């Protein structure tokens, strides 16, 4: 079955440590996205990528970094510069129409819950 796989499901980070969240999709989708969700709030965009080897900052990119070396993979690194990283992180993908934004809906992964210890 096609879908998006996020790992790990739970992640614990010590102060000053960098951690990487994995996101893999086998849907052959062009675009991939990372969102952050805090309790009682909607999702906020961290980074997105429309093609391999290219990505753009979202609304809250500070303290995060990404790479897109393969179409299927879009890992997110939470660096020590991110002062409040405890949150639920969601990865998503979508098809990109050549003429504009996606005509098709998003597919989301099941999320990674990151906690600072």
Partner 1 sequence: KQEVTQIPAALSVPEGENLVLNCSFTDSAIYNLQWFRQDPGKGLTSLLLIQSSQREQTSGRLNASLDKSSGRSTLYIAASQPGDSATYLCAVCGSGNTGKLIFGQGTTLQVKP
Distance in Å, CB of 74 to partner 1, minimum: 13
Distances (CA, A) of 102 to 19, 64, 96, 97: 30, 25, 5, 5
Nearer to partner 1, 38 or 69 (CB): 38
Nearer to partner 1, 22 or 106 (CB): 106
Strands 54-57 and 43-51: antiparallel
Q: Are 15 and 116 in contact (CB under 8 A)?
A: yes
Nearer to partner 1, 17 or 115 (CB): 115
The secondary structure of residue 9, as a DSSP letter, is S
- CA–CA separation, 104 vs 31, rounded Å? 11
Distance in Å, CB of 105 to partner 1, minimum: 4
Which spans of this chain sit near partner 1 (rule: CB under 8 A)? 6, 31, 33, 35, 40-45, 48, 50, 56, 58, 88, 90, 92, 94, 96, 100-111, 113
Distance in Å, CB of 101 to partner 1, minimum: 5
Distance in Å, CB of 80 to partner 1, minimum: 26
Angle CA(107)–CA(36)–CA(85) in degrees, nearest 5? 145
């Amino acid at each position: 079955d096609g879908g998006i796989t996020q790992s790990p499901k739970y992640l614990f980070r010590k102060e000053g440590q960098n951690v990487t969240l994995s996101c893999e999709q086998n849907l052959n989708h062009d675009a991939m996205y990372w969102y952050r969700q805090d309790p009682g709030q909607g999702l906020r965009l961290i980074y997105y990528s429309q093609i391999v080897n290219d990505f753009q900052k979202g609304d809250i990119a500070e303290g995060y970094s990404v790479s897109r070396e393969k179409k299927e993979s879009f890992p997110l690194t939470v660096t020590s510069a991110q002062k409040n990283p405890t949150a639920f992180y969601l990865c998503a993908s979508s098809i990109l129409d050549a003429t504009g934004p996606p005509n098709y809906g998003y597919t989301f992964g099941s999320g990674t819950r990151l906690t600072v210890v």
